[in-house]
Amino acid sequence: MSAKRRSGMLAGLLALSVVSVACGGSDAEEASSTTAKSATTEAAKATTTVKAVEKLTGKINISGSSTVEPITQRVKELFNEDQKAVEITVAGPGTGDGFKVFCKGETDISNASRPIKAEEAEACKGAGIEFVELKIGYDGMTVVTSPKNTAVTCLSTSDLYALIGPESEGMKTWASAQALATELGSTSKFPDAPLSITGPGAESGTYDSFIELAITPTATKRVAAGKLEKGKEKTIRKDYNPSADDNVIVKNIEGTATSLGWVGFAFAEEQGNKIREIKVDGGKGCVEPTPATIGDGTYPLSRSLYVYVNKKKMAESPALKGFVDYYLADGYDAVEEVGYVPLPEAELAKTAAAWKTARG
């Protein structure tokens, strides 16, 4: 999404950014006046942001999702081209681990590849931490296998449940899951080959989102039918290879001829022919993950991406305010640049409005 397209939506936010981030004096007043006038001509063109104001200083600590990490890292690089005195650290241990430190007040921003859970929000509340949730884009969890596995090109969500869900514990071959898949209504034919599964661990938002979209809908029906023990609706088989490192997942997928796993779309795309993406059928036919199918929700494993900002830290730090202002304006092109799907115009406007309200 171009800066020009965003300018109309974010003009009010950008004008506010210049006034708030700049230090006092005639320079600040001039910047504010200039921005207000330019808002009437192409709505400031989304260029009079932090670059137009006095240099910022400070530290910003960011942690959380390894999926969102490349976006925030790129925004950091672009922001630091002009704001060199702001020291920003970006880590990607996983969404869950990120919220743990965020809700202890140890980070300023938490990247997330899923919405914050009720228990995580409660932990923040208990620690007196208020935050603003900012939706920034979309990703599609991409199901992958080895390029050598030509027998599998599309898997339904029923297939994914049969292969990876809680009832698949102990199944060592693809064919072992055939009876369960057929019982669930699948018409797929699995190969009689070893089944080696590698995916994100429980600390990852990609793990949680995969379960929510690929496993839980079928699991809930199985519980209702008395086929699955209640309480296992949000679980998968334990005997798979979990890793917090996407590179490890890809290495395992690449190294086993009949492998199966899942990673974020942008990361999968980066791998070229090391791995092969599998289409997913959510009930309306096989759909390939692409920016278009992820953005319009036709790809069954599409999900939203977020950043969470600590309100108290934001109020105390012009640098943090300036960074988030930049993230949602000039820096927003990083979402698409690193391979993810930008928000539609109306949704980005909602994000901008939420930020404007939070920052005051």
pLDDT tens series, the chain, 360 aa: 444 445 445 544 544 444 334 333 334 344 433 333 333 333 333 433 444 457 999 999 999 999 999 999 999 999 999 999 999 999 999 999 999 999 999 999 999 999 999 999 999 999 999 999 999 999 999 999 999 999 999 999 999 999 999 999 999 999 999 999 999 999 999 999 999 999 999 999 999 999 999 999 999 999 999 999 999 999 999 999 999 899 999 999 999 999 999 999 999 999 999 999 999 999 999 999 999 999 999 999 999 999 999 999 999 999 999 999 999 999 999 999 999 999 999 999 999 999 999 998
Instruction: Delimit the domains of the chain by residue range.
Output: 3-138+305-359, 140-302
So what's the pLDDT on residue 82? 94
So what's the pLDDT on residue 202? 92
Q: What angle, rounded to 10 degrees, do the helices at 95-102 and 118-126 form?
A: 20
Same CATH fold assignment for domains 3-138+305-359 and 140-302: yes
CATH of domain 140-302: 3.40.190.10
The answer to whether the CB of 70 falls within 8 A of the CB of 208 is no
So what's the pLDDT on residue 252? 96
Q: Domain spanning 3-138+305-359: which CATH class is it, in words?
A: alpha beta
Q: Which residues lie closer than 8 Å to 117 by C-beta, 6 or more apart? A: 99
pTM, whole model, 2 decimals?
0.80
